[in-house]
C-alpha cells in the first residue's frame, strides 16, 4: 500500500477586507470595521474554531498599492492599516491555541524594538507568537525614515547586476536582523528570574548576557529588557519568491511561505530551500515550507469563478497577484492541496480573497473535508506554536553546561 501522507499544516493570511482589491465592496464585507479590534478578533477566533495552526497578519511601512514596488493614487481600494504586532497582542488573550504571526518590515526598523515586542507577544499568548520578517526596497518607504536612500526597484530590472546587488544586500541585512532577534531572545537564561522575596533578589544578573553583535548595518550589545520567551525562540517566518529570499528561509527561518503555480514548481522551490538550509548547516533542523494560495470558495460548482469575475470587473482588471488563485469548492481545493503536498510542501497558507466569507469557507467546509480524509487534525495537540509545528524548544546559546 502507498505511504499515507503526513497530516498537513494549515494557516490563513489576514489582510484588510481580503486579498482581492475589490473585496471591501462585497455584501458580506465589513469595511467600516477594518480599524476596530472586534473585526480582527472575530477573524482570528474563526480561524481558531477551524483548528488552524496559525494566522499571519499583514503589515507594511507604506500604503497598500496596486503596483508591486511603488505607491499608487487609487482611492477605490482599501488603504491604511493597523499595526500587525499590536493586533496580535490584542487578540492573544481572546484565543487559546492558534499561533499568531504578525508581519514586520525589518529594513528600516530596529531589531531591539522588534525582539522585545515579539517576546512580549509570546508571553501574553503563553507561547503562540512568531514574526514574519519582510524586506522593503521601496524608495517611498525609505523616505519615511531618512536614514538611507534607495533607487527605484522595478520588476523588469530585478535580474540586472545593480538590482541583484541591492536585493542581495537587503536580504543579507535581514539575515543579520534575524540573528540579532534570536540572540536577544536568548540573552536571558530561562531561570534568570529568581523572585525571592526573602533575600530581596528578583533577578540573577549573571544569567543576563551581552550579545555583542557587530554587523554592517547595526551593532547591538544587549541584553534584552524582556525575559526569554516561553517558546525560547518564537517562530520566524518569511515569504520567498526568488533565490535570495529562498536563502533567507534556508539560513534563518523556521517557516517559509512560497508561491508555486503548480506541483513541478513547488518541487523545485522546496529543493532550492533545502539546498540553502544544508549550506547554512541546518540540514538536520525542521524548516517548514508552506505553499500560498489565494482562495475563493463556494459550495456550488462555478459560483466562486463567477464571484471572481465580478470582483475583477469591480477592480477594473483581472487580479492575478503573486500567488496561485484558486476558485472552486472545498472538495476541489482539498484535492489540490493533497496533490501539492506530494511535491514536498509541509503545509499551506491560504489567503481568503474576501473576508469573512472565504475564511468561513476554509474553517467550515475545507477543514471538515480534510478531516474526513484523515489529512488534518481534529483537535489541537500542543499548547504552543512550536509544538503545533513539531519544532523543539531550542536550548539557550548562552547557558553554561
Whether 259 contacts 291, CB under 8 Å = yes
Rounded to 5°, the CA angle 215-218-224 comes to: 105
Whether 56 contacts 9, CB under 8 Å = no
Rounded average pLDDT over 372-401: 95
Q: So what's the pLDDT on residue 2? A: 43
Which residue would you say has higher pLDDT here, 74 or 317? Answer: 74
Rounded average pLDDT over 345-353: 98
Rounded average pLDDT over 171-198: 96
Tell whether the model's pLDDT for residue 212 goes beyond 60: yes
Query: Which tens digits make up the pLDDT trace of 35-65?
Result: 999 999 999 999 999 999 999 999 999 999 9
Query: Which tens digits make up the pLDDT trace of 111-125?
Result: 999 999 999 999 999
Tell whether the model's pLDDT for residue 3 goes beyond 70: no
CA distance 99 to 305: 31
Boundaries of every domain in the chain: 9-147+231-388
Q: So what's the pLDDT on residue 249? A: 98
Rounded average pLDDT over 158-182: 93
Which residue would you say has higher pLDDT here, 400 or 314? Answer: 314
Rounded average pLDDT over 318-337: 94
> 164-197 burial by CB neighbour count: b if 16+ within 10 A, else e?
eebbeebbbbbbbbbbbbbbbbbbbbeebeeeee
CA distance 245 to 69: 16
SS3 74: coil
CA distance 113 to 131: 13
Q: So what's the pLDDT on residue 154? A: 77
**What is the rounded average pLDDT for all residues in the chain?**
95
Burial of 161 from C-beta contacts in 10 A (0-12 / 13-18 / 19+): exposed
Rounded average pLDDT over 373-379: 97
Fold of 9-147+231-388: TIM Barrel (3.20.20)
Q: So what's the pLDDT on residue 214? A: 95
CA distance 93 to 52: 17
Tell whether the model's pLDDT for residue 153 goes beyond 80: no
| CA dihedral of residues 262, 264, 270, 273 (deg, nearest 10) | -100
CA distance 358 to 367: 12
Whether 294 contacts 304, CB under 8 Å = no
Q: So what's the pLDDT on residue 364? A: 98
Tell whether the model's pLDDT for residue 337 goes beyond 80: yes
Which residue would you say has higher pLDDT here, 316 or 251? Answer: 251
Query: Which tens digits make up the pLDDT trace of 354-370?
Result: 999 999 999 999 999 99
Tell whether the model's pLDDT for residue 155 goes beyond 80: no
Tell whether the model's pLDDT for residue 238 goes beyond 90: yes
Q: So what's the pLDDT on residue 5? A: 64
Q: Give the confidence band of 1 by pLDDT, cuts at 50, 70, 90.
A: very low
Amino acid at each position: 500500500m502507498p505511504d499515507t501522507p503526513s497530516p498537513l499544516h494549515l494557516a490563513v493570511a489576514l489582510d484588510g477586507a481580503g486579498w482581492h482589491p475589490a473585496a471591501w465592496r462585497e455584501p458580506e464585507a465589513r469595511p467600516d470595521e477594518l480599524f476596530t479590534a472586534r473585526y480582527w478578533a472575530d477573524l482570528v477566533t474563526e480561524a481558531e474554531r477551524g483548528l488552524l495552526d496559525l494566522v499571519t497578519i499583514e503589515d507594511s511601512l507604506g500604503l497598500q498599492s496596486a503596483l508591486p514596488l511603488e505607491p499608487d493614487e487609487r482611492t477605490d481600494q482599501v488603504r491604511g492599516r493597523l499595526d500587525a504586532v499590536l493586533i496580535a497582542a490584542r487578540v492573544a488573550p481572546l484565543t487559546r491555541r492558534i499561533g499568531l504571526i504578525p508581519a514586520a518590515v525589518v529594513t528600516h526598523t530596529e531589531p531591539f524594538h522588534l525582539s522585545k515586542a515579539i517576546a512580549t507577544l509570546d508571553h501574553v499568548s503563553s507561547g503562540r507568537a512568531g514574526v514574519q520578517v519582510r524586506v522593503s526596497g521601496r524608495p517611498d518607504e525609505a523616505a519615511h525614515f531618512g536614514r538611507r536612500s534607495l533607487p527605484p526597484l522595478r520588476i523588469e530590472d530585478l535580474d540586472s547586476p545593480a538590482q541583484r546587488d541591492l536585493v542581495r544586500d537587503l536580504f543579507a541585512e535581514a539575515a543579520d536582523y534575524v540573528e540579532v532577534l534570536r540572540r536577544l531572545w536568548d540573552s536571558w537564561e530561562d531561570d534568570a528570574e529568581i523572585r525571592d522575596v526573602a533575600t530581596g533578589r528578583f533577578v540573577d544578573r549573571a544569567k543576563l548576557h551581552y550579545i555583542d553583535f557587530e554587523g554592517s548595518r547595526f551593532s547591538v550589545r544587549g541584553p534584552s529588557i524582556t525575559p526569554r520567551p516561553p517558546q525560547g525562540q518564537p517562530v520566524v517566518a518569511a515569504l520567498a519568491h526568488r533565490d535570495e529570499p529562498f536563502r533567507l528561509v534556508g539560513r534563518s527561518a523556521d517557516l517559509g511561505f512560497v508561491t508555486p503555480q503548480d506541483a513541478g514548481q513547488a518541487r523545485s522551490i522546496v529543493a532550492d530551500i533545502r539546498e540553502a538550509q544544508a549550506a547554512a548547516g541546518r540540514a538536520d533542523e525542521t524548516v517548514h515550507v508552506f505553499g500560498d494560495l489565494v482562495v475563493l470558495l463556494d459550495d456550488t460548482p462555478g459560483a466562486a469563478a463567477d464571484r471572481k469575475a465580478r470582483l475583477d470587473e469591480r477592480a477594473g482588471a483581472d487580479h492575478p497577484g503573486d500567488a496561485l488563485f484558486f476558485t472552486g469548492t472545498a472538495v476541489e481545493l482539498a484535492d489540490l492541496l493533497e496533490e501539492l503536498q506530494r511535491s514536498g510542501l509541509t503545509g499551506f497558507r491560504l489567503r481568503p480573497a474576501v473576508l469573512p466569507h472565504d475564511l468561513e469557507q476554509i474553517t467550515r467546509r475545507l477543514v471538515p473535508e480534510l478531516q474526513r480524509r484523515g489529512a488534518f487534525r481534529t483537535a489541537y495537540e500542543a499548547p504552543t506554536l512550536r509544538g503545533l509545528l513539531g519544532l523543539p524548544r531550542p536550548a539557550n546559546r548562552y547557558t553554561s553546561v
